[in-house]
Amino acid sequence: MKFIYLIIIALSLPLTAQKAVPLFDGKTLKGWNTNKGEEKYWSVRDGLIVGGDMKKKVPFNTFLATDKSYQNFELEFDIRLVKGSGFINSGIQVRSIRVPKKSEMKGYQVDAGIGWWGKIYDESRRNKVIAQPIDPAAIKKTAKDWDWNHYRILCEGPRIRSWINGVPALDYTEKDKNIPLDGLIGFQAHGGGIFEVQYKDITIKELPSTPNVRTWKALQAPAKVSPPKKSGARSPQQELQGFKLPRGFTAELVASEEQGVGKPITVQWDTAGRMWTMTAFEYPIDANENKAHAEAIYKRGGKDKILVFDNPSAPGPQTPRVFADGLVIPLGMIPTADGALVQYGTEIRHYYDKNQDGKAEGFDTVLKGFGIQDSHLFPHQFERAPGGWYYLAQGLFNYSDVVRPGGKAFADGSKSVSFRQCKLARFRPDGSEFESVSAGPNNIWGLIQKNNGETFIQEANDWGIPIAEYLQGTHYATGSKEKLRSYAPQIPSTLPGQQMGGTGLSGIALTEEKASAFNQLHPKAENVFYIVNPITNRIQIITTVRDKNGDHSYTKQTDFMTSEDKWFRPVAAHFGPDGCLYIVDWYNKVISHNEVPRAHPDRDKTSGRIWRIRLITLPQRHR
């Protein structure tokens, strides 16, 4: 009887959904609102909601929004873009809010327009396309660019789906539990064009709500009152005072912006024990937002540099020498016998020092064709690989077609290699070979190899792979659906859930010296990995032991290093030849690429520190 009762309840749940009701009466904008001063861009004409202007350019994004908020629903309407000139685009905001004192709305935007049908853009929040059409070819075939299209949008729990003229267009599931799943519905007339967007036959059917999900009201609730905290940049000396380390360890400043080390990304050592780093003063520059600007700065060169510390173990702070300048966000870099391999815009270059005077005389282009859509996802994580190869990684929103200069063929005879979204690749230093070796994980900022060849890799977004074994040809959880091969096995999560505190993992460090104090913190572990977490301002530890099957078992341990200064942003960590742990500190109030607009004043463009962590009883060593 109880079983039958539960079935009856389950079957009755869908019946709580309301019937579809009109959202537009065909005569007025009752139930809708515009920002003050934007009324002229929205009207009712001939039974249609009309946005935009066919005489003057719409100067900014303008939105017509519902008065009511919705959570789960099925929205249907017809939309038509009327051709004019300039940039012509529209979109439908769902689960959104208005941005105070601005024309913008914040939240999901189901796009409409040439090249945008079927996509979903995260408007004024992550500021990027977060999902592509299920079948771009089918959408291109069905969408009528200058005629009426019927849209159906279904929002249920974390899932958003859409159909255009009955053809499945979008299927997106939100993985971030902090994203609100309710909000206003809004129609957009995009700024920058002379055009109209028209809507008609707008209906909505509300569906049963999803319990215990994030809402805009909860997100905007006033925080508990607490004593005000000091904000703003601290000097390196002040920052140093806020570090917390295990007993017996100490932190020392190697260099900072005061010595010209601003916005460093990583450090690497050459065979002579010299430490190399770079600056990224020009960051961020994204071609997916302003292609002309990006291409122009790569053409003329920028103010970034490759720097070298000849005696990095010496007491600091130290002033490095300049090996190469005129660069633009060299995200990837590794020293070679006579120079360094460096990422520059669409190219991988070899900057050479043939006369051995310590400064590059020039460069040779090794590979070309890398995407510059998103500047925090350029080729990076340059590491030496077995067999004379070099590894490099690329992030989720960049698309590359890699070629050799001068039209040369690769060793296999091909002229181009498709390298799309999140992948790890390997290449020969002369550019003769280039191949993908893994699909995923997302935005690899951590990769490390042991002396026995065993390799470990890291997924940046804390999707359960803060560290995992790397196996060539495998597939890792990623925002991209591409696999190297259809049958490629997927590596499972090693620490399910967000055990590291959220997105932003940015590096791995490991020492194989068992007597090292860094290993002796967990003497029973086979490996003690130091995990870089710039989002939570700390260095964390994951240890591994072998389970009964001989596989690695991963455990998160107590954090190794924390800071009172929320500007402490470790983005890389490496053990040096001296046995010390070197930490690259981006030092910034803002760390996430999409946290604020690219030109936001809170983005620090000058600061950066490199720290050395050592055992207090370990004497400073220098040549």
Q: Does 481 or 547 have the greater pLDDT score? A: 547
* Residue pointed to by tokens 């049963």: 208
Taking residues 211-233, report their average pLDDT: 66
As a whole number of angstroms, the distance between CA 60 and CA 103 comes to: 7
Per-residue pLDDT band at 596 (split at 50, 70, 90): confident
Domains in the chain: ranges and CATH: 17-211 (2.60.120.560), 236-615 (2.120.10.30)
pLDDT in tens, 273-286: 999 999 999 999 88
pLDDT in tens, 250-276: 999 999 999 999 999 999 999 999 999
Q: Is the pTM of this model over 0.85?
A: no
As a whole number of angstroms, the distance between CA 325 and CA 285 comes to: 18
| Residue 152 confidence (pLDDT) above 90 | yes
Taking residues 51-61, report their average pLDDT: 91
End-to-end CA distance of the chain: 83
| Residue 5 confidence (pLDDT) above 50 | no
**On the CB side of 263, how many CA atoms lie within 13 Å of its CA?**
21
From residue 433, alpha-carbon distances to 344, 390, 408 in Å are 19, 10, 11
pLDDT in tens, 392-435: 999 988 999 999 999 999 999 999 999 999 999 999 999 999 99
| Three-state DSSP class for residue 567 | coil
| Residue 3 confidence (pLDDT) above 50 | no
Q: Among residues of the chain, what percentage have pLDDT more than 90?
A: 71
Q: Does 294 or 480 have the greater pLDDT score? A: 294
Segment holding 175, helix H or strand E:
none
Contact 521, 541 (CB under 8 A): yes
Q: Which candidate, 319, 347, 317, places its Cα nearest to that of 332?
A: 347
- Write down the pLDDT at residue 502: 67
| Residue 623 confidence (pLDDT) above 60 | no
Taking residues 428-454, report their average pLDDT: 92
Contact 441, 466 (CB under 8 A): no
Contact 484, 450 (CB under 8 A): no
From residue 173, alpha-carbon distances to 83, 160, 482, 617 in Å are 33, 6, 18, 52
The residues near 226 (Cβ < 8 Å, ≥ 6 apart) are: none
- Write down the pLDDT at residue 621: 52
Taking residues 584-592, report their average pLDDT: 92
| Residue 79 confidence (pLDDT) above 60 | yes
Q: Does 534 or 192 have the greater pLDDT score? A: 534
- Write down the pLDDT at residue 223: 40
Segment holding 303, helix H or strand E:
none
State which of 20-29, 118-127, 292-301 shows the largest mean pLDDT.
20-29
The residues near 125 (Cβ < 8 Å, ≥ 6 apart) are: 106, 107, 594
As a whole number of angstroms, the distance between CA 160 and CA 152 comes to: 11
- Write down the pLDDT at residue 225: 38
Q: Does 224 or 33 have the greater pLDDT score? A: 33
Does a cis peptide bond (omega within 30 degrees of 0) precede residue 59?
Answer: no
Per-residue pLDDT band at 289 (split at 50, 70, 90): confident
- Write down the pLDDT at residue 126: 84
| Residue 368 confidence (pLDDT) above 70 | yes
Residue 315 sits at φ, ψ, to 5 deg, of -55, 140
Write the Ramachandran bin of 525: left for phi over 0, alpha for psi from -120 to 50, otherwise beta.
beta
CB atoms within 10 A of CB 512: 12
Per-residue pLDDT band at 17 (split at 50, 70, 90): low
Reading the block at residue 499, the tokens are 């055990």
- Write down the pLDDT at residue 620: 55
Contact 561, 538 (CB under 8 A): yes
The residues near 61 (Cβ < 8 Å, ≥ 6 apart) are: 103, 104, 188, 189, 190, 191
Reading the block at residue 522, the tokens are 């967990």
**On the CB side of 2, how many CA atoms lie within 13 Å of its CA?**
0
Q: Which candidate, 94, 82, 156, 151, places its Cα nearest to that of 118?
A: 151
pLDDT in tens, 332-341: 999 999 999 9
Diameter over CA atoms, the chain: 89
Mean pLDDT of the chain: 90
DSSP codes, 162-200:
EEETTEEEEEEE---TTS-S-BEEEEEE-TTEEEEEEEE
DSSP 8-state secondary structure symbol assigned to residue 588: -
As a whole number of angstroms, the distance between CA 419 and CA 480 comes to: 12
If 0-12 CB within 10 Å is exposed, 13-18 middle and 19+ buried, where does residue 445 land? buried
- Write down the pLDDT at residue 163: 98
The residues near 93 (Cβ < 8 Å, ≥ 6 apart) are: 63, 65, 105, 107, 108, 109, 123, 183, 184, 185, 186, 187, 188
DSSP 8-state secondary structure symbol assigned to residue 461: T
Q: Does 496 or 307 have the greater pLDDT score? A: 307
- Write down the pLDDT at residue 229: 42
DSSP 8-state secondary structure symbol assigned to residue 287: T
Strands (E), 220-292: 243-244, 249-256, 267-269, 275-278
Tell me the sheet residues that pair with 184: 96
- Write down the pLDDT at residue 361: 94
Q: Which candidate, 571, 504, 566, 567, places its Cα nearest to that of 535?
A: 504
As a whole number of angstroms, the distance between CA 424 and CA 108 comes to: 30
| Residue 11 confidence (pLDDT) above 70 | no
| Residue 494 confidence (pLDDT) above 60 | yes
As a whole number of angstroms, the distance between CA 540 and CA 556 comes to: 8
